[in-house]
Chains A and B, each alone.
Chain A
């Protein structure tokens, strides 16, 4: 029994772990923060640092997201979920391909620009969901191991 309690204990420890997803593209920093149970980090305080200086401070929206327009390319984001639960991550601007630069220089009408913006937001959300799915694999593995243990305990009792 003690063995199983020790196995289950890390699940509770991870329950309040805060995760942070960042994406820096087209002068926009996308921030998404969520807890281990996939719930968004609603109204959590965050600050953005560049070269160890605070450049911006605000709170995340009800989806745990924030889009910050910036021309800086080396940033650090710190999210404070309260009760000492903080998470920080650094991000650097990825080099854009030449083709993308050419496209950017062309005049894009507003509708296309809006669609691109929507597309970018959706892509970011997909990335966050993928990250969350990978994260939950660990819990599934732990759950599987606990189940194996329980099944064999039941078999042992039935057989004896």
Chain B
């Protein structure tokens, strides 16, 4: 089982769209896939038409009162399951802090479903916290969407620094440009001139397009409702770049 976390300190950079579309593509090629919606906003959960509620909230999950398996939900796409978001995740930091070795908790929870899945996607909340440390520890790959703007490059620097200093299992970090607008000179300039020594940057650029915005309306992944759209192809290319060997 490989764990891919879609993560950025900043919000609104296309994390959920990435997690949902890549998880769908992974399941479509026959991998048993789980998407864990860790974001209290529950956008991924909303997209899959699942009620964002876990009985007992995150406290029950973290304390082990309720096995992870009981909270898993099938989605309408074969091979793709969801661990829904719960608004009470906002307390997750406090609850993690109350456990022993809090940064290991997420990976231990995931170990209980290791037989059930080939790939797990973590759709992470935008912050640096105990949750994110736990995410780092549990992940094999940290996938970082970047908007081509000077400030978001700074946050990428902060993030790679954070991972490098992390006291635990360090995931591989791969960034990619998201919500890019080729018509904007600044976007083009940043994409072309980014120093590649900041960490691995994927070749695929996900453009800013209304098709991605339609996901909320259609409540489905882009490659499902617009399989021939250029952006669906880009997500396929991105998945080909970052997919773990099966």
Do A and B come together as binding partners?
A: no
